[in-house]
Amino acid sequence: MELNGIKPAAGAKHAKRRVGRGIGSGLGKTAGRGHKGQKSRAGGYHKVGFEGGQMPLQRRLPKRGFKSRTSKYNAEVTLAALERLGAAEVDLLSLKQAGLVGELIKVVKVIKSGELKKAVKLTGIGATAGAKAAIEAAGGSVA
């Protein structure tokens, strides 16, 4: 094989359709646009979602829900997960290394789900009122 012999696969390339080039081409006169109407004219077309004046689908359906843009940076960790982790001191970096929270996470909060028997010191991590009480009852602290 030589560089001057390289060709694309058979059928991979095809000529661009040349419209409006006479009767013999098969795409003369109206150039594949049909007869009359907005779609046949130069520069004339409707906007996306336009349904000819009928109330568009996106306006017929009710507005619903909200998706926070900051939720991908927030995470929750349960008391049961902290129990399994078994570390005396827990911060954001240790949770990321353990795989309990994702790499993008910036804010972590401990929620009261499960039980905690070991004393755990939280640094730079929030906790709900119930979780804070459970951590302090086990001899830990929330900073």
**What's the pLDDT score for residue 86?**
86
Concatenate the DSSP letters of all residues of the chain into one string.
--GGG--PPTTS--PPP--SS-GGGT--TTTTS-SSSGGGSTT--PPTT-BTTBPPHHHHSPP-----SSGGGEEEEEHHHHHHH--SEE-HHHHHHHTSS-TT--EEEEE--S---S--EESS-EE-HHHHHHHHHTT-EE-
User: pLDDT 10s per residue in the chain (143 long)?
Assistant: 799 999 999 999 999 999 999 999 999 999 999 999 988 999 988 899 999 899 999 999 999 999 999 999 999 999 999 999 988 999 999 999 999 999 999 999 999 999 999 999 999 999 999 999 999 999 999 98
Domains of the chain: 18-61 (no CATH), 71-142 (3.100.10.10)
